[in-house]
Structure 1
Amino acid sequence: MLTMPPPPRVRAAVLPLVPVLLVLVVLVMAVLPAGPARADQVRGSQRQVLRTLDVDAAWRVTRGAGARVAVLDSGVDPRHHDLVGSVVTGPDLTVGANPRGVAPRRLHGTYMASLIAGHGHGPGRSDGVIGVAPAAKVLSVRVILEDDERGFHDFNSEARYENVVARGIRYAVNHGADVINMSISKDQPTTQERAAIRYAISKGVVLVAAAGNDGAGRKDGPYSYPASLPGVISVAAADRGMHKASFSNRNSLVLLAAPGVDVLGAGPGDQYWVGRGTSQATALVSGVAALIKAKYPRMSPALVAQALATSATRRSSRGYDPGMGFGVVNAARALTEAARLARHRHIAAGPGVQDADLPMGAGVGTTPAPLAPVQVVRRDTGTVTLYGAVALVATACAVASLAVMVLLVRRARRRREDREHEEMPEPQAGWRQRAPT
């Protein structure tokens, strides 16, 4: 059993707030640092999650060799003994937010990377954290700060950091990413982020993002971005019983779920952490997507998403549920479904296809034309009110007329019955009624 010291204050994942971007929300609900623990305890603590994902069966097909997963996050510690040799460090797009000489903490990013591509260590790599795709490579792109980094406030308040996620997506695509993991969330996307996501999909890159952790006490919503943008796989968190975790957002764009409660992963400096959130669930799904892309590197993002959704387990009796999507991801079943889909092609190409690097409707290879002004139709509220009043009066008159007609019909019927009663002969004296024989 994993031993832990007395829990410190609860930590949250860090995501930036910037002007115009609205609010970026936290994605790790409670992350607690693990104390000294034997490596076999670490692997044992992963057992339930790995069993739920059915990775042992999936690894008989592929362990992710050849796939590259970009982790757009707070940075990854490339020296962690469960990740060493598997991490390529890309740019730090938050440069200038922290004071000069302050090193990034890289907690959240290391945690996510280990769930995707941790390979363990020790004899036979049987110790430490094992990721879903342990043979895959990680491309680390730093686009957020941890909440306790000194530059957190500046990063959240300066407009120059507004489009770091969009820049990170484009960098990842241009440097060979097959899958982009975005365990981040915010209220609204920017135009540049929408364009970057179109660009990534046009290049065959699978995008996976967190559905968000604001669902506690809500029947529906909210929608979080980039998870809710078209083409992005939106991932919810499941609890240990494989039901929707209480904090996980519930909306109609959730595609599927993965374990997101009490998930163990690696932290910087050879540490291990336990936490919960849609961040962790997203990383696990990115790992499964990496297995698919390793086996079928030319498979389009749409078909990868179809393989993940069609093969999910714990599916709702209705087929789909806004809290859990099409069910809980299963690595082995996803690879089987991907094998069936691999012979198909699901991507637009050739003459007439929209250039993903241009705004929608600009045409092929042309300079974007200025957008036409939006026509605003102003309705005459006075006329609408008048017509509504006339309709109400007409309806009232029709009801009154119907009531009068019913009353007249009943009165006529009553008069006819009275006349018939008056015309009947009075019985004469001496008449006797005979009983029928």
Structure 2
Amino acid sequence: MLTTRVVVRGLAGLLAAMAVLVPSAPPASADQVRGSQSRVLRTLGVDAAWRVTRGAGVVVAVLDSGVDPRHHDLAGSVVTGPDLTRGANPRGVRPGRLHGTYMASLIAGHGHGPGRADGVIGVAPAARILSVRVILEDDEPGFRHFNSEARFENVVARGIRYAVDKGADVINMSISKDRPTRQERAAIRYAISKGVVLVAAAGNDGAGKADGPYSYPASLPGVISVAAADRALHKASFSNRNSLVLVAAPGVDVFGAGPGDQYWVGRGTSQATALVSGVAALIKAKYPRMTPALVAQALTSSARRRTARGYDPGMGFGVVNAARALAEAARLAGYRHTASGAGVQDPDLPIAAGGADGRPQLAPVQVVARDTGLVTMYGAVALGAAGCSAGCLVVLIVLVRRARRRREHVMIENPQADRRRRAPT
């Protein structure tokens, strides 16, 4: 068993334990890999979803350790972006790209061989991958240097902005850290403002904890936070449990590709995140103008294995299902969940006060102090006035009724007087 742990500066590690399935070429047979994927694919309902779309036309950015574009299950589907970790490793060291290749294959692997029946097939096999290297794997020689140098602190934020500007529709972040930076918050606002769906891992620190820690960027507003489900579709023991988990996906014994035409099997919220990114890619392929908020709604409202309460911090709204999510997206496709006009937040404008860069800042929040004593007095006066009004109304009703009864009594005792009074002259 090989444990892979990849960390960004400040990360509380995320990546899963992975065992080698096929260590080198020749590749595994369809029975060994594709057959081993069947449980996960069936859980996600991809066969029915593929009758609607296979993800053609969508770009999924994989912010990770790099993707092997020559793997025969990914060949032709990968565009390699910048290595934002450049300088962390000694000169001449080639990146391992294991974790990134693994995640990319779960999203957009297309298999190989006759009818592409061999190897790994992803949830959106017709989608394209944009690889942006923002992390090192822990066996790379520059790992410690990368995690201690301040110049690498905002590589995730830079990766998000690069992916958005290069046309990504979905950004997969199978990474986790214990606190976000200001630049990451701004980059996420920027991505959402451009209609890009962001999916991130909830984290793998939940073992033995009733409530696991909050991980970032998954716990930032607008990001779809993904937990891992076990084979029985319950929360995996390692998966973080917190109130910002949105959905879950299979995260135990998940088969995927590795560099050099290898195959791996492992567990973690990383794998679950990649699978949800694949479902999001299917939705964006069918409904390219759908906003991130509505994509998230389609995923949550169509999820399966909900608890009796509808939501659980360990599993969110349930396990995603591609076919059901597409059906829900069809219902939501006519809506536009966006805000415009005066007062809408500029995504490039930092929330915190500052302005060292000379850019305009948000106006300070106006706090209105209310005198609770006056509020109480005014409330009492209002109640008193209401009581007086009600009392006057009651008195008026009583007086009218008494007058009516007195008149009726006089008519009964002296009906002739009434006739004389009414007789014509």
TM-score interval w.r.t. the shorter chain? 0.7 to 0.9
Tell me how far apart the structure 2 counterparts of residues 350 and 54 of structure 1 sit (CA, whole Å): 40
Say whether the 8 Å CA contact 2:16–2:266 is kept in structure 1: yes
Q: What secondary structure is seen at the aligned counterpart in 2 of 1:31? A: strand
Tell me how far apart the structure 2 counterparts of residues 351 and 369 of structure 1 sit (CA, whole Å): 15
1:67 matched to 2:54? no
Say whether the 8 Å CA contact 2:57–2:128 is kept in structure 1: yes
Tell me how far apart the structure 2 counterparts of residues 28 and 351 of structure 1 sit (CA, whole Å): 43
Tell me how far apart the structure 1 counterparts of residues 167 and 16 of structure 2 sit (CA, whole Å): 31
Say whether the 8 Å CA contact 1:117–1:133 is kept in structure 2: yes
1:202 matched to 2:202? no
1:14 matched to 2:1? no
Say whether the 8 Å CA contact 1:16–1:152 is kept in structure 2: no
Partner of 1:402: none
1:296 matched to 2:287? yes
| Distance change >3 Å, CA 67–CA 317, structure 1 → 2 | same
Alpha-carbon distance, 1:348 to partner: 1.3
Say whether the 8 Å CA contact 1:12–1:26 is kept in structure 2: no
Deviations 1:38-68, CA, capped at 9 Å, x for gaps: 2332000000000000000000000000110
1:31 matched to 2:11? no
Query: 1:207-246 alignment to 2 at 5 Å?
Result: 207-246=198-237
1:369 matched to 2:356? no
Alpha-carbon distance, 1:33 to partner: 1.3
Tell me how far apart the structure 2 counterparts of residues 29 and 198 of structure 1 sit (CA, whole Å): 28
Query: 1:205-354 alignment to 2 at 5 Å?
Result: 205-354=196-345
Q: What secondary structure is seen at the aligned counterpart in 2 of 1:266? A: strand
Tell me how far apart the structure 2 counterparts of residues 158 and 55 of structure 1 sit (CA, whole Å): 42
Query: 1:158-197 alignment to 2 at 5 Å?
Result: 158-197=149-188
Deviations 1:295-343, CA, capped at 9 Å, x for gaps: 0000000000000000000011111000000000000000000000000
Letter in 1 for 2:133: R
Q: How many pairs does the alignment contain? A: 359
Partner of 2:135: 144
Say whether the 8 Å CA contact 2:351–2:362 is kept in structure 1: no
Letter in 2 for 1:314: R
Letter in 2 for 1:60: R
| Distance change >3 Å, CA 361–CA 150, structure 1 → 2 | closer
Say whether the 8 Å CA contact 2:146–2:152 is kept in structure 1: yes
| TM-score (structure 2 length as normaliser) | 0.82
Alpha-carbon distance, 1:372 to partner: 6.2
Alpha-carbon distance, 1:374 to partner: 12
1:92 to 76, 80, 83: 83
Deviations 1:81-126, CA, capped at 9 Å, x for gaps: 0000000000000000011111000000000000000000001111
Tell me how far apart the structure 1 counterparts of residues 194 and 366 of structure 2 sit (CA, whole Å): 32
Alpha-carbon distance, 1:25 to partner: 2.5
| TM-score (structure 1 length as normaliser) | 0.80
| Further displaced range: 182-191 or 33-42 | 33-42
Tell me how far apart the structure 1 counterparts of residues 128 and 361 of structure 2 sit (CA, whole Å): 40
Say whether the 8 Å CA contact 1:29–1:275 is kept in structure 2: yes
Letter in 2 for 1:116: I
Partner of 2:402: none
Tell me how far apart the structure 2 counterparts of residues 263 and 246 of structure 1 sit (CA, whole Å): 15
1:121 matched to 2:115? no
Query: 1:105-116 alignment to 2 at 5 Å?
Result: 105-116=96-107
Tell me how far apart the structure 2 counterparts of residues 39 and 224 of structure 1 sit (CA, whole Å): 36
Question: Which consecutive unaligned segments of at least 5 residues does structure 2 have?
Answer: 368-425
Letter in 1 for 2:152: Y
Tell me how far apart the structure 2 counterparts of residues 128 and 369 of structure 1 sit (CA, whole Å): 52
Alpha-carbon distance, 1:32 to partner: 1.2
Q: What secondary structure is seen at the aligned counterpart in 1 of 2:31? A: helix
Tell me how far apart the structure 2 counterparts of residues 369 and 352 of structure 1 sit (CA, whole Å): 13
Say whether the 8 Å CA contact 1:25–1:184 is kept in structure 2: no
Letter in 1 for 2:15: V
Say whether the 8 Å CA contact 1:40–1:126 is kept in structure 2: no
Partner of 1:428: none
Say whether the 8 Å CA contact 1:359–1:368 is kept in structure 2: no
Say whether the 8 Å CA contact 2:349–2:362 is kept in structure 1: no
| Distance change >3 Å, CA 54–CA 369, structure 1 → 2 | closer
Question: Which consecutive unaligned segments of at least 5 residues does structure 1 have?
Answer: 1-6, 18-22, 376-437
Partner of 1:404: none
